[in-house]
Structures are given as structure tokens and as C-alpha cells.
Structure 1
Amino acid sequence: MPSSNDYDVRPFPSSNELATAGDAAPQATDQLPRVEAAMDLPVVVDSDDDDMVSHELEQMRSILEEAILETRSMPLENRPRLPRIPLSKRNRAVVRALNPMLVTYLEASRDLCETDSVLFGAAVAACRIIGARLPMAGRATKQSSAIPAWRKRIEDRIAKARALIGRLISFRSGNNRPRVVRTVRMAFAGTNISLSQPDITQKLTERIDDLKQKIAAWGKRIRRFTERSRRFNQHRLFQSDQKRLYKSLERPEVCGAGPGPDQANTVAFWRGLWSEPVNHSEGPWTEVVASQCARITPMDPVIITPDDVAEAVRRAPNWKSPGLDGLHHYWLKGVHGVSRCARPSVSRGSQPEVAP
């Protein structure tokens, strides 16, 4: 009988962080047959029956190899979205059993991209073994362009009002078809207005004007909400990426619309700037600036060690939105072999060679 310590996996989050345990559901029927068979694995990795343990580990190893082969040749935008898995002894045992199998792949990885693909494959294999829902369609990497619900409701009101205006104008022009008459009666429902009264033409005109004013008010509301949303998005983009904001504010004619410059004129322009020698006369201010810069103590080089990276990952939220690779911090914390395969420390600004 395994003790409670046999299932202690420190890198995994607490139970309070996994309140969304309902995200894990039985896998869809369109998955591979091997995945469906993996859902029935009891994962009794601490059992005394060595034959059962070896059989289960062999199945898990096969699923892991298949997942790593899939993710290595898969573009980032086509990777499936990894779900949040609930914290349980079974799930801990699955990741704990996969950890020794990953050491060979991680030690053979040549760069961070290959290490990331191995880790993503391990996460996919773990999700398949525990039976978590894993959609195989590509993740949405761009913002959805769907119309907001509030705008769709207002546009539906405008469309219905315009259709009603058309029916009222048609009835005022003498169209007495049953469908038109029925629509006009519904427009005046709840009022004391009758279609046979002498001033019905004036009432129709007033009703049409009232609907036109409502359409104008609804259109103004859409423009006001759209402008507010645009300002909000611009303010948020200014805080995160000013260059992208300024680029979005450029006019189309400034962004390269139209024919490009002539090659001969371009060469002549830059040749006149760089080919002809020019004697520059430096002013006295350059000496002042040079003397002031000489007194500045240069900053010590910042060394990023594997321990720094591991500490940053440990402090990061487990289910924070992942980057382009789609890998949550949860999986970076759960794979123990990553720290063993970390390469020497590097300075900031150089090519990083530290495993995540």
C-alpha cells in the first residue's frame, strides 16, 4: 500500500488554484484509438505487481513518443490548446511517471525550441493519458473579429425599424396588401389609432418620423460605444506596445500605398549623402558631453543563471495565459528533468542557451 508521501509532487499547485476542475472532461471520440485506450490506464505506478507496472509504463512511453513526434513537426499556430487539469493523486502519478522518460529527450535537445517542443509533447501526452479534453484544432492566435452582442442587438433594432418604416411608407402610398396592413396595425397596437380614421396619413407620418429619430439615436449610440472602445484599446496598447500603437495610427497613404520610389532616384539620393566626403566641425558642446559621460560608472553585466530562470518560473502563476508556444507554467514546474538539462549561464543581451 503506497504511503501519502509517494504522491507528493512539490512543483504542482495547491488545491485552491485548481477550482476549475470541471475543465477536464472525457475525450472526444475523434481522437486516436491509442488515446482512447490510454484513458482506461489505472496508472498504479507504485503497485507491487511489476508486470502490471511495466505494462502501464510501456503504454505511457508509447503515448509520449507519439506526442513528441507530433509536436516536433507542428507549427506553433497549429498546436492544440492545453487545458487546465485538476489536481489529483492520479494526475500527479502520471506526470511523475513521465518525468524519467523525458530525461533522454531533454538531454538530446539542441536548443530552446527543441526543448519547448519536448515539454509540449509531454504535456499533450499527460492530457491524453488522464483523459482531459484536448482539441486538436489550431489555437486562435488572433483576436476574434466577431461583432459584440450589444452592437448586434442595436443593429437588429435598426434593421427592424427600417423594415417597419418601409411598410408604413408603402401603406401611406396606397398599398393595402394584407401583409402590409397587418404590419401597420401591429405598429399602432396599444394606441387608440384606427386605420380608418381621417387623419391616418398624419399619424403615419408622425410614426415614421419617430422611428427615424430612434434609428438616429441608436446609430449615435453605436458610434459613441465604438469610439469609447477604440480609445480604451489605444490606451491599453500605449501601455504595452507604443510602437504598435503609432503604427496603427498612420494613415494608409503614409504606410506605403501607391507606387514605390524610383530605384535610380533612390540610389542617387543616398549616394549623395554617403559617397561624398564631408568635413564636420565639432562644437565645444561635444567635449562637455564627453567629459560628463566619462564620469558615469558603467553598469555591471547582468548574469542570468538557470537558478534565476527556475525561480522566475516558480513564482509565476500556474495557469497564466501562455505565449505563442501554448505551454503553461504548470508544465514547466512539473517536469523535473528541465533543471538537469540546463546549460551554462549567459549574460543579458547574448544568445540565451538556458533550458526553460
Structure 2
Amino acid sequence: MHRFFAELEPSLSVTEQNLADRVRYILRSNIFGDAELERLRREAIPSSNGNATAGNAAPLDAQQTAYVDAAVNIPFVANSDDDGIVSHELEIMRSILEESMLETRSMPLENRPRLPRIPLSKRNRAVVRALNPMLVTYLEASRDLCETDSILFGAALAVCRIIGAKLPVAGRATQKSSAIPAWRKRIEDRIAKARALIGRLTSFRSGNNRPRIMRTVRMAFAGTNINLFQPDITQKLTERIDDLKQKIAAWGKRIRRFSERSRRFNQNRLFQSDQKRLYKTLERPEVCGAGPGPDQADTVAFWRGLWSEPVNHSAGPWMEVVASQSASVTPMDPVTITPEDVAEAVRRAPNWKSPGLDGLHHYWLKGFVVCHAVLARQFQEALDQKSLPSLFTTGITHLVPKDQDTADPSKYRPITTQPDEKTI
């Protein structure tokens, strides 16, 4: 749509995001009716009009036409109050689905965009239900679990694009969010500014008349009738300094009060979910890990030496004892994985649990129910062949510090998150 707009209006400089926002605003605000929108669409895209002749209609690339139609119609679909979606809208959704799956089919796992958590609204569920039967053809042709995962991720990406969810521009890498809440940062900034002002006022009271100090003092007394050269300026400075100190004390108490309330809330919630973990945190002080991090090369070398080097186990005499004791154990019956087993495992899983390297949340496995039969068949094949694809043996490892020595790579505890399907 942006390329087509640039051809129509080369003198206007508009970004892709700005153009999409304007289209979305026009459709949501109901400025034009359906008939007016159709007329504008025919004027903007002459080739889409059946009555237009080849002589007075400029040819339009099919891909550009799809982009323009999608940008005009999809926001209306995503914001509709009913679950009914007409055939024209379904065709647009199908084209977006095919484009998304084609885009993610050959994309490495680490380069996949990060899927956001979408609201559990009626219109979003309607879009998921509309795409669900479209996946049958693609899933039936899927050869293994990796291809099935790629199809489901492409479908999830298509849903996010249809409903207008925000996606990162490229890759999965995002800026690491700070553990300090925004309200605490704001209060700490106020305290830092107040302390800096106290220092300037104290310096001026001691006789420092440098221009920078004078400018700060004038700003501190701006809006008042206080003159910096009046006889009682020392008393006014002392009162101003005391007032700032009281504010700093009040802000500090507010931080402590909010922090204590947050700590109690987290402890109560942890007591309901995992009492053992709560008691461990009470017995052992929490490690903040705020020190300098380890060198990346040293970290990779240390953990690669533990995980990548082959290990040769020696067969001791105890293994013969265990083997003789296990000879009388009745073998377990063969396991048969059914679609009902997959549906039950997915139903009990949290919607937005960390998905691992594949980036696919449990929510999408619940919404695209047509994948349960395919997943059951492919999991059964993997179980019978006693082999799993690399998708299930590759994960994202997070290093959690054990103590205050955060510069040593060996002082970390590795925690690895793996794909959602692994829980099945």
C-alpha cells in the first residue's frame, strides 16, 4: 500500500506506519460509509473496476492490490462486533495466512518475530476460528513436527497482523526491561534532583557566587518575592533546604511503603502457589545480581566445556546388579497418543507461558484445534522411532546468579525454556 501511495502522491512524504494508522483511523471513526469507501477504492485502484477499459486504467501489480485491499478491509474485520465474516474477508485473511506461512517456513527459529499476547476478546477469537479450518490442508501435508510448528507459527503471525497487533520490526531480540518499576524511577529522579538542589543552595549559602550556582538558586525561588540579596536570604535558604529534606524523607518513606506492600503481595501469592519456595526465600536472602556481568566469551567457553564435550561413562559393577534386578520388571504397555491426549495437555497449560525458541504459546495450540490430530500422529511417530527433532532439544538458557559474585560464569544457575509442545 505504501508503494502504491508513493506512486500516486510522490510529493508527500509518509511512512508506512503513518499511512496504516490513517487508514485504521478512517475506518474506526466511520467517517465514510460503505458506499463511499467502495467508490474511493474504485478511484484509487482503477484496474479493480470491472467497467474500466485497458486504455484509461493503469495496470496494477497483483501484490500491491492485495496490500491495498488488506489495509482497507482487515481493520473492519478485526473490529467487528459479530462473529460473521463474509467470503471476501475470508479470502483476504487466507492471503495473509499464506504470506505469513511462506515467510516463516524458511526462517530460522532465532529470527522469528516475538508474538505478543493478544486480548482474549470476541473479535480476536472470531479471527482464530476463521483461520482454523484453513489450516487443515497445510497440516495434512506436514511431514514432521518442525514443519507443523512452522505452519502454526505462521498462522499465529497472520492472526496478529489481521487484528493489528504490534510486532517487533526484526528478529526476536528486544531491549531488556529493567526490574525497577516506573513509579520508583520517577520518585528516585525527584530525590536525585532535590539532593542536587540542596547542594547548590548550601554552596550559595556558604558564599559561592558562581554564575551556575546563582542561576540554580534563582530558579529555585522563581515565582516568589524573594530577592537573593535581601538581608534574610540566609534564613530563606535554610527554610528551603529543610523543606527539600522533608520532601526527600517523604519520598523515601513512600518507596519503602510501596516496596513493603509489593513484597507482602508477592509472598501471599507465592504462598498460595508454592509454599516450599516461599519458605526457602525467607530462610535464604535473595540474590539481586546487580553487579557486573561476566564476559560473554568466558561464559560461552565455560558452559560449552560442560555441555559440548563428550562424556565417557564407565560401566561399574553396580550396573550389572541393577540390570539383574530389572529383568523381572514387567515392561510397560505401548503408549498410544490420541488427539484427546493432546487436547487435554494443551487445555491444562497456561496460555502465555514462556514459549522457548520456537516462539509459539499454548494459546495458539488451544485456538487451532485442527492441529491436535496431526500433533498426536507426529508425536506417536517420534515416540516409535525414539527420536526427536532438534526443535525439542534446543532452548533458550537464562543464567540466574547464585550469589553476589556475578562476574564469575560458574556462579550462575542455568535455566532453559523449551518449546510449548515439549509439555505435551
What TM-score results when the alignment is normalised by the length of structure 2? 0.46
User: 1:79-94 counterparts in 2 under 5 A?
Assistant: 79-82=113-116, 83-84=118-119, 86-87=121-122, 91=127, 94=130
Q: How far apart, in 2, do the equivalents of 1:206 and 1:108 lie?
A: 77
Query: Aligned letter for 1:150?
Result: W
Matched, 1:132 2:163: yes
The question of 1:339 aligning with 2:352 is answered: no
Gaps of 5+ in 1: 1-25, 44-51, 261-273, 275-281
- Measure the CA separation in 2 of the matches of 1:302 and 1:322: 31
Q: Is 1:108 matched up with 2:142? A: yes
Secondary structure of 1:145's counterpart equals: coil
1:254 and 1:38 map into 2 onto residues whose CA distance is: 46
**1:305 touches 1:346 (CA, 8 Å); kept in 2?**
no
- The corresponding residue for 1:95 is 131
Identity percentage of aligned residues? 46
Aligned with 2:101 (options 56, 68, 89): 68
Tell me if the contact between 1:165 and 1:211 (Cα under 8 Å) persists in the aligned partners.
Answer: yes
Shift of 1:103: 3.0
Alpha-carbon contact 1:71-1:79 (below 8 Å) kept = no
Residue 38 of structure 1 pairs with residue 73 of structure 2: no
* 1:95/1:335 contact within 8 Å kept: no
Structure 2 Cα separation of the partners of residues 59 and 309 of structure 1: 31
Q: Is the 8 A contact 2:114 2:172 kept in 1?
A: yes
Distance change (3 Å), C-alpha of 1:103 and 1:221: closer
1:314 corresponds in structure 2 to 347
Alpha-carbon shift at residue 313 of structure 1 (Å): 1.3
Aligned partners of 1:304 and 1:223: how far apart in 2?
56
1:175 to 193, 197, 209: 209
Offset at residue 96 of structure 1 (A): 4.5
Distance 1:228 1:320, change over 3 A: same
Distance 2:293 2:217 in 1: 55
User: Which residue of structure 2 aligns with residue 159 of structure 1?
Assistant: 192
Q: CA deviation at 1:62?
A: 4.3
Moved more, 150-159 or 79-88: 79-88
Shift of 1:93: 6.2
1:23 aligned residue: none
CA distance in 2 between partners of 1:158 and 1:113 (Å): 53
Query: Once the 2 structures are TM-superposed, how far is the Cα of residue 253 of structure 1 from its aligned partner?
Result: 10
Q: Offset at 1:68?
A: 1.2
CA contact 1:27–1:36 (8 Å) conserved in 2: no
Distance 1:218 1:340, change over 3 A: closer
1:262-283 residue CA offsets vs partner (Å, 9 max, x unmatched): xxxxxxxxxxxx9xxxxxxx9x
Paired position in structure 2 for 1:117: 150
Which residue does 2:237 correspond to in 1? 204
> Residues 123 and 29 from structure 1, CA distance in 2 versus in 1: closer, same or farther, beyond 3 angstroms?
farther
Kindly state the Cα deviation for residue 121 of structure 1 after the two structures are TM-superposed. Answer: 0.8
1:20 alignment partner in structure 2: none
**Matched ranges for 1:124-273 at <5 A:** 124-128=157-161, 131-137=162-168, 138=171, 144-145=177-178, 147-172=180-205, 173=207, 175=209, 179=215, 182-183=218-219, 185=221, 200-201=233-234, 204-205=237-238, 207-208=240-241, 211-212=244-245, 215=248, 218=251, 239=277
Q: Name the CA shift for 1:308/1:253 in 2 (closer, same or farther; >3 Å).
A: same
TM-score by length of structure 1 reads: 0.52
Q: Is the 8 A contact 2:129 2:368 kept in 1?
A: no
Shift of 1:133: 0.7
- Letter in structure 2 aligned against 1:114: E
Q: Which residue of 1 aligns with 2:337?
A: 305
Deviation, 1:323, is: 1.2
Q: How many correspondences in the alignment? A: 282
Q: Which amino acid aligns with 2:69?
A: A
- The alignment partner of 1:79 has SS state of coil
Q: How does 1:275-294 map to 2 (within 5 A)?
A: none
Q: Deviations over 1:12-66 (max 9, x none)?
A: xxxxxxxxxxxxxx965799853542363899xxxxxxxx96x887765543332
Report the 3-state secondary structure (helix = DSSP H, G, I; strand = E; otherwise coil) of the residue aligned with 1:108. Answer: coil
